[in-house]
Amino acid sequence: MNDGPAELDPLLAENVANWNSRVPVHLGPGGYEIEQYINDPTRVSQVVAFDQPMLGNLSGLSVVHLQCHIGTDTISLARLGAGEVVGIDFSDAALDAARDLAAQTGDNARFILSDVYRAAATVDQHFDLLYTSVGTICWLDDINQWAANVAGLLKPGGRFVFRDLHPVMWTYEEVDGQIVPHFPYWQQPDQPLSHECSESYVGTGTVASPRTNEWNHTVAEVLNALITSGLCIEHIEEYPGCDWQLFPSTIPEGSQYFLPEKLRDKLPVTWAITATKG
Ligand SMILES: C[S@@+](CC[C@H](N)C(=O)[O-])C[C@H]1O[C@@H](n2cnc3c(N)ncnc32)[C@H](O)[C@@H]1O
């Protein structure tokens, strides 16, 4: 276990407080629909279902899920046949919810409290596959420490599967009904984008600790960090859709949201990377 958020950098400690206070909102009305996982033992999250072709056959594999939140994606990995699944997150409230969910569903998943930067040392185990997706690296100020921990959690030959908001799309904002470049692409660790927002991306409740600090990481920074940590990049994908309502004017279609027609084929919205530890 880690020594708790008190030892974290103050900006990351603010993020812990924010994520802890999102948990009751995500468990409540309009949230992650936890009861659907309890009522239907075959239910797999839309995020994991989207990533299933990249994940491949999980049968019998040991899988670590970094930034697992309340465990809906984590138990989805178990439901796809993984032999062992470990979720890691720095929010104790999220892990309480994840453990409670796994206890209710009977899925074989364990959860360990750690921030990303101490994950490899805390868990001290090597896995066949590391999965992390949708709302992950924007919460980290140091992409090199992230990549070092990714590599540190994998066995030699182990696979890495990542999908998240595209670093180019990260710079966009909807201003007066127009989706326009607004935030810096290149961002310094000591210059986070800090916001106060008492709503979360799902759920109707109020987020009690509304302050967040986020960082963009460029395409080059992410790829170079992975390469430097010893990963061999296998494949990169770019997608026109997003898993959540990114802007008020994004258009829902199936399980994803797309940019308005005039921008739809002009900008990447999310991206994915698969890699193998050498
Ligand atoms: C958007 S959620 C996870 C995405 C996942 N797809 C989901 O929706 O369940 C982001 C998670 O990252 C965790 N997180 C943020 N910064 C972290 C850090 N430095 N170390 C560990 N976990 C972190 C938060 O606590 C939160 O549970």
Strands 178-181 and 193-196: unpaired
Query: Residue 196 and residue 81: Cα distance in Å, rounded?
Result: 40
Closest ligand 1 atom to Cα of 135: 1
Phi, psi of 195 (to 5 degrees): -135, 160
Query: 85, 89, 215, 246: which to mutate for ligand 1, most atoms within 8 A of CB?
Result: 89
Q: Report which DSSP code applies to 59.
A: B
Tell me the percentage of the chain whose pLDDT exceeds 70: 98
**pLDDT computed for residue 164 by the predictor:** 98
For the CA of 115, the closest atom of ligand 1 is 20
Band of residue 8 on the pLDDT scale cut at 50, 70, 90 = confident
Assigned CATH topology for domain 5-277:
Rossmann fold (3.40.50)
Tokens representing 163 are 């999908």
- DSSP, collapsed to helix, strand or coil, labels residue 170 as helix
Q: What pLDDT is recorded for position 193?
A: 96
pLDDT at 41: 97
Is there an atom of ligand 1 within 6 Å of 132 CB?
Answer: no
Structural domain boundaries in the chain: 5-277
pLDDT tens-place string over residues 11-30: 999 999 999 999 999 999 99
pLDDT at 129 over 90: yes
Give the pLDDT band (50/70/90) at residue 7.
confident
pLDDT band for 108, please (50, 70, 90 cuts).
Answer: very high
Q: How far is CA 159 from CA 63, 186, 217, in A?
A: 9, 28, 21
